[in-house]
Structure 1
Amino acid sequence: MRKVPLGTTIAYGLPGLGAGYMYLLMSLYVMKFSTDVLLIAPAVMGVIFSVSRIWDAVSDPIAGYLSDRTTFKFGRRRTWMLLSFIPISFGFLAVFSPPESMQGSSLDLWMMIAILSFYSAITLFNVPHMALGAELSEDYHERTRLFGVRHIGFTLGSILSLVSMSLLISEENSPTGDVRELAGNLAFFAVAAMSLMIFFSVSRLKENPEFQNRVNKNPFKAFRDVWVNPHARILIIVLFIENLGGAVIGVLTLYVTQYIVEAPAWAPLIIFAYMLPSALSVPLWIPLSRRFGKIRLWVFSLALTGISFGGIFIIPFLDSVTDRLIVMFIGAALGGMASGCGGAIGPSVKGDVIDYDEYLTGERKEGSYFAALNFVFKSATGIMLLVTGFVLQFSGFIPNQPQTMEVKIALISLYGLVPLVFYSLGAYLLYKKFKFGEKEHAAIKQQIQARV
């Protein structure tokens, strides 16, 4: 095993800090920012988020294939990572700094364009970045460490965004607060930091020139190869089911804490109780994956996630705020531990499946694979965000007002029962159908090396 140098590992994981900050703020706060501050209808925002995530899913394969086919001397991954900082900056600033004079349909259109622009731009960074992680090491277990460090960076960025969310929520509750000005200032600092992290990363990372230009010129064949790969096909199905269950968790956390737990000030700490175990548990999962196998551990993490959020379903039926908070904190902590496992092992397994494609085709198309798998993830997310927006709209949800029990049941069913069902189903399918472990990976790598 050739261990990836620590400096390379840090340079790879560092931009995850900025990406994690932006993703969490987009996932957890923009829906609430739009409905409660900008006063855009929940159904409109549900449509906007659904369209944006579906478009984001469509743009992933484009970005992945273009990255695979890039032959610049600077690198097929680093080139796109570097170029991405400009549109990321403009898109993120536009989301949190809409002109105050805008109202009605013009504001709806602004937010739609801004959100679409941000997710398109972050794709230009994220797909090549994930693909580069699979290329930096071809070792079965070293990949888990590499992606584990990336997950830690991503999670620490998410934790930093909780500070921003806490400030924004406090500003909302202040009689003299100006949420829009604060959101714009925070967005400016975020894009400046993200740009510096991208510059540092691309200046320190190196790419393997032997992997360049080893992909079919026909993009449809490249993505057909993903589906033909039997192990990738199982992953696609599992990831789609998993994300049908997980998509609503992020966007509804603030709603659940405010309208069901009735303790909105605790929302950042509840999310922190999820994020901290997610980051701190990674060093635990990496050696456990060597002992018990990556697939078994991933199955366990999916099941644990479903159980963690399924238990939260009882919250509307608890009488005291204290009891509801205890259940939320327990569910968040257990779900966070499971997330640490999935965040490190999931991308590592995807890298192994890409090696199997090299065994079948002789090509190296990490970008196409991560793009195709992201397409599945984001399509499922788009579907569930659309459902969430309409459930809020037609269950009788009224912003900034106490909710009826019918609304609370609708919210907690999306937040608790839906993850329980879909994560459990995903765990079952992964356990029963995915048959590409360490021995199988070693066998195909041996045959690939024998061809050289």
Structure 2
Amino acid sequence: MTATPPRLGTGTKLSYAVGNVGLQMLVAAMSFLLMIFYTDVALVPPAIAGAALLVGKFWDAVNDPLFGWMSDRTRSRHGRHRVYLLYGALPLALAAAAVWMVPPGLSPLAAFVWIALTYTLFDTLMTLVQLPYSALATELTLDYDERTSLTAFASMGALLGFVGGSVLMPLLVRASPDARTGYALAGLCFGVFAGLCVAWVAWRVHEPVHCLRPPATHPQMSMAASVQRTLQVTLHNRPFVLLVGAVGLVRLGLTLVQGALAYFVVYRLQGDKSDLPRFMGILLLVVGVSLFGWKRVVDGWEKSRTYVLGLLLCAAGLVALYFLQPGQQVAMVALLVLIGLGMGAHWIVPFSMVPDTIDHGHMQAGERTTGMYLGFYGLVDKLARTLATVLIAGMLDWTGYVPNVPQGDLALQGIALMTGPLPALCLLLAIPLLLAYPITRAQHATIRQSVDTGIAPPALQSGGMGSTGPEGCTTRSATQNGCAQDARAA
């Protein structure tokens, strides 16, 4: 029998959550305000700004698996992941500030180059910090339930950062003598704050001893072959593939809601643009309040079943949105409470499931490749976000949407569908994948025992839970055929 993993202290969980406050402030500010800053303040043509951002987003889709592979093979006295926080905090702060400092009077070509360079630099440093930050959480504790507790603290930090990024920047801009100066000062403040948050995590949170050991290496392989092999091992992890497929569908659905909600409030409910922050505040408040409630549900139930329950609640609220009529703002608030309650499960449960699938991959292949798993997870998440943006833009164009005027029936139907039933369908399609997800609390204990002893359990030896990796590798045979190192050595 293996020893029970030690519990994390509350101070460690709070310190780790601080990093999410700073990082999510940057994400929220850029999600809500960056494009309007480029077009309305920096006076860059929309097509130029969009094309320049597309350069960064293309690189963003490629760099997650690559940087994940790099972090898995990092050798440092500070650990595999924490070292990126130590040395990445200051560069990230400077790059985040530079994004909001477009020089005045640039030609369209110069503006394109400036935006493409600053945003791509920021995105590179953000990934180099955020991915190891997420990987650090998977290593801090090996306990099935303690991971959910750590995720609850981290999700609360993310929620605080998301609210801060979407509310504080407009306030700082309005308090400045002009918008250009306001955005530059606000960007500098946000960048410095995010850098300090990352530095705090690097100072207060230390990786376990096993992360300080040199990782398994394959010196005979080229970099390209090593990346390909590690990706193959990742994709042969059936629990991980089921989870990332479900989370990708959920991310697609929730991004559709996020992108279409403003149109729904203004044109379908016939509200005012000032109503949107109030509705968003209610939704995020419910999500925040529900986080630790979902933590208690997970403690007494399985993670995948808890996630399914949350998706059912959220989908029910989204479907009901379709039937709202103009002026029904009280009903809108009631449905946002239901949606936020279900959405809270998404903010906490899947992020505590990913480390369990990484443990399964460790047992399966005999090698722990945390960075690659999180890199592929991030890749699917970003592809889902991009697809949602394309779908919303296509819907608006196809239905004849015209800004700032009352919409026709076809445009209103399209807005309602993109806000309610279509996102609900994405959530419901994720449920069969979660019902097939095999890792339970008891099975995770078996996985951990196998990793600690280096002996594959009968379920793995007989082909259970996707037992074989590339070329039929298993933990017991890995060292014989060169596929991976022994589990204890890894």
The correspondence of residues 48-447 of structure 1 with structure 2, limited to 5 A, is 52-102=56-106, 104=108, 106-164=110-168, 167=171, 178-211=178-211, 212-217=213-218, 218-261=226-269, 262-315=271-324, 318-320=325-327, 323=328, 325-393=329-397, 395-431=399-435, 433-447=436-450
SS in structure 1 of the partner of residue 229 of structure 2 = helix
Q: Which runs of 5+ in 1 are unaligned?
A: none
The verdict on how the C-alpha distance between 1:273 and 1:392 changes in structure 2, with shifts beyond 3 A counting, is: same
Structure 1: which amino acid aligns with 2:187? A
CA distance in 2: counterparts of 1:157 and 1:3, whole angstroms: 26
The answer to whether residue 448 in structure 2 is matched with residue 449 in structure 1 is no
Greater helix fraction, Structure 1 or Structure 2: 1
SS in structure 2 of the partner of residue 133 of structure 1 = helix
CA shift, 1:81, in A, is 1.8
TM-score by length of 2: 0.82
Moved more, 222-231 or 157-166: 157-166
CA shift, 1:152, in A, is 0.4
SS in structure 2 of the partner of residue 314 of structure 1 = coil
CA shift, 1:282, in A, is 1.6
Contact 1:256/1:411 (8 A) holds in 2:
yes
CA shift, 1:384, in A, is 2.2
1:239-265 CA distance string (max 9 Å, x none): 222222222333444444444443111
Q: How many residues align?
A: 442
CA distance in 2: counterparts of 1:103 and 1:304, whole angstroms: 50
Q: Aligned match of 2:10 in 6, 12, 17?
A: 6
Contact 1:309/1:415 (8 A) holds in 2:
yes
CA shift, 1:401, in A, is 4.8
Moved more, 353-362 or 156-165: 156-165
Structure 2: which amino acid aligns with 1:17? V
The verdict on how the C-alpha distance between 1:249 and 1:87 changes in structure 2, with shifts beyond 3 A counting, is: farther
CA distance in 2: counterparts of 1:77 and 1:3, whole angstroms: 21
The verdict on how the C-alpha distance between 1:307 and 1:115 changes in structure 2, with shifts beyond 3 A counting, is: farther
The verdict on how the C-alpha distance between 1:424 and 1:20 changes in structure 2, with shifts beyond 3 A counting, is: same
CA shift, 1:292, in A, is 1.8
CA distance in 2: counterparts of 1:252 and 1:41, whole angstroms: 23
CA distance in 1: counterparts of 2:333 and 2:378, whole angstroms: 29
Contact 1:43/1:393 (8 A) holds in 2:
no
SS in structure 2 of the partner of residue 281 of structure 1 = helix
SS in structure 2 of the partner of residue 73 of structure 1 = coil
SS in structure 2 of the partner of residue 102 of structure 1 = coil
SS in structure 2 of the partner of residue 364 of structure 1 = coil
CA distance in 1: counterparts of 2:110 and 2:420, whole angstroms: 35
1:236-294 CA distance string (max 9 Å, x none): 32222222222233344444444444311122221111212222212111121021211
The verdict on how the C-alpha distance between 1:267 and 1:64 changes in structure 2, with shifts beyond 3 A counting, is: same
Moved more, 332-341 or 367-376: 332-341
CA distance in 2: counterparts of 1:74 and 1:288, whole angstroms: 36
CA shift, 1:225, in A, is 0.9
The verdict on how the C-alpha distance between 1:46 and 1:311 changes in structure 2, with shifts beyond 3 A counting, is: farther
1:115-160 CA distance string (max 9 Å, x none): 3333322111111011110100000000000111000001011122
Give me the CA root mean square deviation.
Answer: 2.8
The verdict on how the C-alpha distance between 1:191 and 1:179 changes in structure 2, with shifts beyond 3 A counting, is: same
Contact 2:311/2:345 (8 A) holds in 1:
no
1:63-92 CA distance string (max 9 Å, x none): 111111111112211111233334433443
The verdict on how the C-alpha distance between 1:271 and 1:51 changes in structure 2, with shifts beyond 3 A counting, is: farther
CA distance in 2: counterparts of 1:256 and 1:438, whole angstroms: 41
TM-score by length of 1: 0.88
1:183-211 CA distance string (max 9 Å, x none): 22222111111111111110111112323
CA distance in 1: counterparts of 2:36 and 2:383, whole angstroms: 22
Q: Which structure ranks higher in relative contact order (CA pairs < 8 Å, sequence separation ≥ 6)?
A: 1
CA distance in 1: counterparts of 2:318 and 2:56, whole angstroms: 26
Larger Rg, first or second structure (1 or 2): 2
SS in structure 2 of the partner of residue 97 of structure 1 = coil
The verdict on how the C-alpha distance between 1:54 and 1:200 changes in structure 2, with shifts beyond 3 A counting, is: same
CA shift, 1:15, in A, is 0.9
CA distance in 2: counterparts of 1:310 and 1:182, whole angstroms: 40
CA distance in 2: counterparts of 1:402 and 1:49, whole angstroms: 31
Contact 1:42/1:389 (8 A) holds in 2:
no
